Amino acid sequence: MSDWSQYWAHIPSAHRTLILVCGLLFFWLLEGPLPLVRRPYHKLSHAGVNLFFTLTTIVVNFAFAFLIVRTCFWTADHRFGLLYLVPLPPWLFWLLGLMLLDLISAWLVHWIEHQVRWMWQFHTIHHIDRHVDTTTANRHHPVESVLRALFTLLAVAVSGAPVWVLMMYQSLSVVFAQFNHANIRLAPGLDRAISWVLVSPGMHKVHHHFQRPFTDSNYGNIFSFWDRLFGTFRSLPPEDLRYGLDTHIAEKDDIGNLLRVPFQKYRPRPR
């Protein structure tokens, strides 16, 4: 195993924490001079609500970490999973591992959450945010965090990804979620060019538009070609964006209320 894969296989917890914190701080500060959407809001109190859900996501992920890592070891020891069907050069093994993890534990679970009513109820707190910025990235109800952890477990079992690929993927996934949720404006040509392969801020913000069919589009986190491949890609000019949900326009954006939202009477989404 190369030094690179050895590092990711044994990455210290402090390094993973630094990736999370430094990425969040970097994009949060960058939003000031380069906003995609210029709408006044209380940035600190907004961050406080979203960081609470970031912490609950970390707790859930920590609770599932042992099971997911043990599954990585088992699949590697038994050469079980799609990555072992044919011999692959190291670079392709790594790339396909990232792609499969991204497809199943990010795109697929996200798409299913929009199709299954009770899952959507828990996912709504991510969409209710009317001021999408980099702190929105991990604004997930704890039950949704459990669902996403279960799909990560499924992704490992199906792909056979070893622990070093998983750790690299999870670190990249965090940074990309912070990047594509960040309220930053890239040059239009650059944003479009990035969005052919990777999820750009302009591309993902369409997913946070308050009305269908835009809400049900652009599900990707790292790789954008899943949405193009499965016909869920849409575009919308930044000036037309309006965040939130048309079913929850006046929803109170505080922690207690957000935790209760999934258990409230179901409100059908207009089409």
Model pLDDT for residues 192-216, shown as the tens digit of each residue: 999 999 999 999 999 999 998 999 9
Collect all residues with Cβ–Cβ distance below 8 Å to 150 and sequence separation of at least 6. Answer: 64
Mean pLDDT, rounded, for 140-165: 96
pLDDT at 101: 98
Q: Where are the domains positioned within the chain?
A: 17-263
Nearest Cα to Cα of residue 262 among 251, 246, 249 = 251
Burial of 174 (0-12, 13-18, 19+ CB in 10 A): buried
> Any idea which residue has 């940035």 for tokens?
43
Model pLDDT for residues 65-83, shown as the tens digit of each residue: 999 999 999 999 999 999 9
Q: Are 147 and 105 in contact (CB under 8 A)?
A: no
pLDDT above 70 (res 1): no
Q: 19 vs 25, 172, 173, CA distance in Å? A: 10, 9, 11
